[in-house]
Structure 1
Amino acid sequence: MKEIKQIYYNDSGTSFYWRKEDGLVMDKVQLIFRETGFYFTKQELYLFKNCIEDSYIQNKCCEDCELKNQCHKFLLKTPCSQIDLAVSMEELNAVKDLVEGTLFKITLDDYLYGEGMN
């Protein structure tokens, strides 16, 4: 796909930069989780990461459960105050991996192709 540059992906979603004309639009990241797309700045991705961490704290009741993270759905807040996602603990793990993997790759690329270059 010439229209995008993929950043990170897992079984539940992907993240990428859009290409516009001859360059990448790097001030925002397109994050697709299940059937939902978000267009976040790096700061909003960090806010989403915090929402995910808060959700883990509030919904850690699955540890002793026989169904182990697959039955209960709860609302996951997003940086968009009008949008919450209904997710299970298994889906929360997947979106956590997607967001953290995306942030790791962005940070690594910023270092390698920015301040880390001699």
Structure 2
Amino acid sequence: MSNGIQMQEIKQIYRNNLGSAFYWKKDNAVLWDKVQLIFRETGFYFTPQELQLFKCCIDESYIQNNCCASCELKNKCHKFLLKTPCSQIDLAVSMEELNAVKDLVEGTLFKIKLEYYLFGEGMN
């Protein structure tokens, strides 16, 4: 992986063309309490609950900004602010970027829930 992170220092959860999500490892143990979410030049370190809040922000932004259905340029030209669970931080994104962030967050949450089920409550 680029930017100096060695693969054994992380446990990848999900990735797409915009970014990736992973758990950090420390002393060969996975730190399950927070997820590192990286896209574009931005990184967030969220608890699963904060990641779920971010999904809600994305869904709300998607509803508010998905109004240019007939415009061919809507996915790339228009930038708008995407709220985050960090009240001091909003991100300027295009609809194309919003779709990729939505996929990244939803894919990450799905994998977290699947892992929890398979190796947690689903192990009877």
Give the TM-score, by structure 2 length: 0.92
Once residues 71 and 108 of structure 2 are traced to their aligned partners in structure 1, the CA distance between those partners, rounded to angstroms, is 30
> Which residue is 1:90 aligned to?
96
Trace 1:17-32 onto structure 2 (pairs within 5 A): 17-32=23-38
What count of residue pairs does the alignment treat as equivalent? 118
Query: Equivalent of 1:42, from 48, 51, 72?
Result: 48
Q: Relative to total residues, which structure has the larger strand share, 1 or 2?
A: 1
Give the TM-score, by structure 1 length: 0.97
Runs (5+) with no aligned partner, structure 2: 1-6
Quick check: 1:111 aligned with 2:117? yes
Displaced runs of 4 or more, over 6 A: none
The residue type paired with residue 114 of structure 1 is: G
Q: CA deviation at 1:24?
A: 0.7
Once residues 114 and 21 of structure 1 are traced to their aligned partners in structure 2, the CA distance between those partners, rounded to angstroms, is 22
Runs (5+) with no aligned partner, structure 1: none
Range that drifts further, 51-60 or 102-111: 51-60
Query: Equivalent of 1:11, from 6, 11, 17?
Result: 17
Query: Equivalent of 1:51, from 46, 57, 63?
Result: 57
The residue type paired with residue 28 of structure 2 is: D
Is the Cα contact below 8 Å between 1:7 and 1:17 reproduced in 2?
A: yes
Q: CA deviation at 1:61?
A: 1.6
Percent identity between the aligned chains?
78
The residue type paired with residue 23 of structure 1 is: A
List per-residue Cα deviations over 1:29-70 (Å, max 9, x = no partner).
000011100000000000000000010111112212131411
